[in-house]
C-alpha cells in the first residue's frame, strides 16, 4: 500500500495543475451568464404557473366542479 500522505500530496499537486489549465470567466461574462440564468428561471416559473392554472381550469370544467 502506498504512503497515504504522499498520495494526498500527489492528488493535491495534480488538482492545482489542472485548475491552472482552466479558463475562468471574466466579471462581465459571469454577470451576463447570471442574468441569462435568472431571466430563464423567471420565464420558466411564469410559464409553469400559467400552464398549471390553465390545466386546473380545464380539469374543473371537465369534471364540473367550478
| Polymer length of the chain | 66
Q: What is the pLDDT of residues 1-59, one digit of tens each?
A: 678 899 899 999 999 999 999 998 999 999 999 999 999 999 999 999 999 999 999 99
Alpha-carbon distance of 5 to 52, in angstroms, equals 56
pTM exceeds 0.85 for this model? no
Alpha-carbon distance of 49 to 38, in angstroms, equals 17
Provide DSSP, 8-23: HHHHHHHHHHHHHHSP
> Using an 8 Å Cβ cutoff, are 14 and 21 in contact?
no
Which residue has 488538482 as its cell numbers?
15
Amino acid at each position: 500500500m502506498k504512503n497515504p500522505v504522499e498520495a494526498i500530496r500527489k492528488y493535491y499537486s495534480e488538482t492545482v495543475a489542472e485548475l491552472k489549465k482552466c479558463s475562468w470567466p471574466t466579471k462581465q461574462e459571469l454577470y451576463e451568464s447570471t442574468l441569462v440564468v435568472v431571466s430563464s428561471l423567471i420565464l420558466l416559473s411564469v410559464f409553469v404557473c400559467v400552464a398549471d392554472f390553465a390545466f386546473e381550469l380545464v380539469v374543473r370544467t371537465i369534471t364540473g366542479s367550478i
